[in-house]
Amino acid sequence: MSGLDAPICGMTWGWTGVRGTWLTAQASASMDAMTELGVNWVTLAYAAVQATAQSTVVPFADGPTVTDDEIRGAVAAARERGLKVCLKPVVNVADGTWRAYIGFFDVDVPGEPSWAQWFAAYGEFVLHHARLAAELGVEMFCIGCEMVRADGQEAHWRALVAQVREVYDGLVTYNCDKYQEDRLTWWDAVDVISASGYYPTGTWPEHLDRIEAVVRREGKPFCFIEAGCPSREGSPARPNDWSLVGAPSERAQADYLDEMLTACAERPWVGGFMLWDWPADLYDRSEASTNDDYCMYGKSGADVVRRHYLSARGWSDVSRSSPATAIGSQAGRLRDS
């Protein structure tokens, strides 16, 4: 479990990984601003774009996906700022369909696109970036994100994890979607269980109870590799809905983040967060009050995150308890409890 000995006080940076945006002066300034929140980890998240949910081609060498050199540059920038790194290659769909709906017939049918064809293409994409993760010595590699319909293809995922381990010896995780933590059947294949924690305000205790049963059963470290809430009226009730209509509200976001981080502080098995999200090209700070997206730059939510993160890392005398504990020892502790 080397590399996860401290709580994960992280941020997701650079989404969606648009080519030409990661090696700019704006990107450098963005990463500098992100470090002011007390982060010690960063997830570099970027997407390859397939045409439709039934396409079996993942053209990751083409734009708009960032290039390998842009990823190398972003990792170097994170290292210069003392951050540990998770690489997270993700597949998106060009027509706007959410990747969770990528899917094919359960049984391969001649002449129809199949899971086998898709996993061959997706596997090429993932393995290319697993090799890059090995080259760059990043601490963690995420093999997929919120692939709800694909989650049931256990044999394909197990084979992909095995292939990744042949080229990368760091920690391997998979980012399941919200509500799916207790549905995945192959958590034993990865090193770290991770999930998108977009749970409605007022429901965190019940979902943490459900997830805890999984973590205890598997004896694995756990983190929320995505979590957050737009700064928008109504978003705390639907934090996963980036298109929800509502007036900008710093308070809505700040209150939600405080609720989430406080609830998780009471669960020592929650190893931390890679909050969603921090763009490579930030809006101007003067626009923070009218920006209604997930990024908390210049907003009240940034103060909340900084307070929790600095407390978790023991850098300030804040009364709040830590939102994360040393994840490296979780597996043994869970088995002994």
Give pLDDT, residue 4.
63
| Alpha carbons 216 and 211: distance in angstroms, whole number | 9
Give pLDDT, residue 42.
98
Position 240: which residue type? N
Q: 268 to each of 4, 63, 204, 300, 330, how far by Cα in Å?
A: 14, 41, 15, 26, 9
Give pLDDT, residue 10.
98
The pLDDT profile of the chain, 337 residues, written as one tens digit per residue, is 334 667 999 999 999 999 999 999 999 999 999 999 999 999 999 999 999 999 999 999 999 999 999 999 999 999 999 999 999 999 999 999 999 999 999 998 999 999 999 999 999 999 999 999 999 999 999 999 999 999 999 999 999 999 999 999 999 999 999 999 999 999 999 999 999 999 999 999 999 999 999 999 999 999 999 999 999 999 999 999 999 999 999 999 999 999 999 999 999 999 999 999 999 999 999 999 999 999 999 999 999 999 999 999 987 433 333 333 333 334 333 333 3
Structure tokens that stand for 309 in this block: 């993160």
Query: What's phi and psi for 218, nearest 5 deg?
Result: -85, -25
Helix 250-265 crosses helix 300-312 at what angle (to 10 degrees)? Answer: 20
Position 181: which residue type? E
- 3 state DSSP class of 227: coil
Give pLDDT, residue 315.
78
- The DSSP secondary structure of 68-103, one letter per residue, reads HHHHHHHHHHHHHTT-EEEEEEEEEETTS--GGG--
- The DSSP secondary structure of 246-302, one letter per residue, reads --B-HHHHHHHHHHHHHHHHT-TTEEEEEEEEE-SSPPPGGGGGG--SS--TTSHHH
β-partners of residue 10 are 41, 274
Consecutive H or E run containing 122: helix 115-136
- Length of the chain, in residues: 337
Give pLDDT, residue 217.
98
β-partners of residue 186 are none
Question: Are the beta carbons of 115 and 156 closer than 8 angstroms?
Answer: yes
Give pLDDT, residue 154.
98
Q: What is the pTM of this model?
A: 0.93
Position 257: which residue type? L
Give pLDDT, residue 267.
96
Give pLDDT, residue 326.
34
